[in-house]
Chain A
């Protein structure tokens, strides 16, 4: 079965430190991979995606993610966290013959001043 896992419900980091939000997946075929961010009481906003090509993808607000096929991971990273990065982050994949969209359950990121 195809699935997406975000193993951490919550991640806490200090402002200025690097942050990582983890995402792993299990699919057949080559997936498209996405990260979205949700600020409090708002809709989800697109951050970045991997379709093909360079495994390191750069996105909005200084975020980046690395597609690792051998580890089936697509972790979201940022070199220096800001308090304003505190939000809920969702990983998603499109995979399979039916190109079904599958969402992770989300990771709450708290950046402490």
Chain B
């Protein structure tokens, strides 16, 4: 089982560049979300989706866009990368609120 797959695993961007982090799950989960993990700050929710066509903002949405055109895919777009967006990004999915969450392996992003 593939579970939650996110790409790329590592990326270096220049300030001002844009990019998309891809996330796909094969468990037919309704809930998908993106987190960023920074030292001493735990996991912070960027955006989430409760189903295809539905997205909403989390704690730290500024500078990021998402879309959910299918149940399987939930890409995260950085519109104009800034050094403050240097972080580790995790995609996650679950069957519903309160169910076990499955995480991808992470994407390490450095903005220079």
- List chain A positions with a Cβ less than 8 A from chain B: 32, 34, 36, 41-46, 49, 51, 90, 94, 99, 101, 103-106
Which candidate, B38-46, B61-69, B71-79, is the interface stretch facing chain A?
B38-46
Checking A32, A43, A49, A104 against B104 with a beta-carbon cut-off of 8 angstroms, the contacting residue is A43
> Which of A36, A44, A99, A104 lies at the interface centre, i.e. has the most chain B CB atoms within 10 A of its CB?
A44
Which chain B residues border A106 with CB–CB below 8 Å? 42
Chain A residues whose CB sits within 8 angstroms of the CB of B54 once the complex forms: none
Task: Tell me whether A90 and B106 are in contact (CB under 8 A).
Answer: no
Once the chains bind, are B42 and A46 in contact (CB under 8 Å)?
no
> A32 to chain B: which residues have CB within 8 Å?
98
- Tell me whether A90 and B43 are in contact (CB under 8 A): yes
Size of the chain B interface, CB-CB below 8 angstroms? 17
For residue B103, CB closer than 8 A to chain A, the reply is yes
Partner of B97, one of A42, A43, A49, A94: A94
**A51 / chain B contacts, CB cutoff of 8 Å:** 98
B100 in contact with A43 (CB, 8 Å): no
Given A94-B98, A99-B98; A43-B41 close (CB under 8 Å):
no
A103–B40 Cα gap in the complex (Å)?
Answer: 13
Contacts of A103 in B (CB 8 A): 42-43
Distance to closest chain A CB from B37 (angstroms) = 8
CB A39 to nearest CB in B, in angstroms, measures 11
Would A42 and B106 count as touching, CB distance under 8 A? yes
Closest A residue, CB atoms, query B106: A43
Q: What 7 pairs across the A-B complex have the smallest Cβ distances?
A: A43-B103, A99-B97, A105-B42, A44-B103, A94-B98, A43-B105, A32-B98
